[in-house]
């Protein structure tokens, strides 16, 4: 049987990943102003941390984000571990007992701008589908660190 060929990749030098990570036992830890600020500060220092973050949505029990790992020594798994550790440290200072995160995370390599747009449209509507807000724009724990042109 003939194997299907892989789709061509648009982002070859600096791949863009769509990432999802969940809290342990789906604990509602992420959707508050303090956790949002810790997340944003971590991502704003992205270049120093070896990754660039574009759009994101923090749901109460999971997060979605678009992240680019420029060529170098950093790996996505190392960066995600650092992000999770940073948020866990914040929660521990608030006496929230660990474990905070499910092991691992889901990542999907985006192959085109169209794939990025489709994923963002779906992710941006998560708070609406969850019944938390009536319009995606009303959810305060979503946005972007770098503008759309970051890739």
Residue 92 has pLDDT above 80, yes or no: yes
The CATH number that applies at residue 61 is 3.30.70.1290
Per the structure, how many domains does the chain have?
1
Residue 44 lies in a domain: yes
Residue 8 has pLDDT above 50, yes or no: no
pLDDT of residue 112: 74
Average pLDDT over residues 75-100: 95
Average pLDDT over residues 85-108: 96
Distances (CA, A) of 138 to 37, 93, 124, 127, 135: 17, 29, 11, 9, 6
**Which domain range does residue 29 map to?**
16-150
CA distance 90 to 98: 11
Q: Angle at which helices 76-93 and 33-44 pack, to 10 degrees?
A: 140
- Sign of the alpha-carbon torsion through 104, 38, 79, 9: positive
Residue 76 lies in a domain: yes
Residue 63 lies in a domain: yes
Q: What percent of the chain has pLDDT over 90?
A: 69
Higher pLDDT, 23 or 4: 23
Residue 67 lies in a domain: yes
């Amino acid at each position: 049987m003939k194997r299907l060929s892989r789709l061509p990749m648009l982002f070859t030098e600096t791949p863009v990943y769509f990432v999802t990570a969940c809290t342990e036992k789906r604990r509602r830890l992420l959707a508050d102003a303090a956790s949002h600020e810790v997340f944003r500060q971590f991502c704003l220092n992205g270049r120093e941390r070896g990754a660039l973050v574009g759009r994101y949505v923090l749901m109460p029990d999971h997060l979605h984000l678009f992240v680019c790992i420029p060529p170098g020594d950093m790996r996505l798994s190392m960066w995600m571990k650092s992000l999770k550790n940073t948020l866990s440290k914040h929660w521990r200072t608030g006496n929230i007992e660990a474990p905070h995160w499910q092991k691992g995370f889901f990542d999907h390599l985006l192959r085109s701008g169209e794939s990025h747009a489709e994923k963002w449209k779906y992710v941006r509507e998560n708070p609406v589908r969850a019944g938390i807000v009536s319009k995606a724009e009303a959810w305060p724990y979503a946005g972007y660190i770098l503008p759309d042109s970051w890739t």
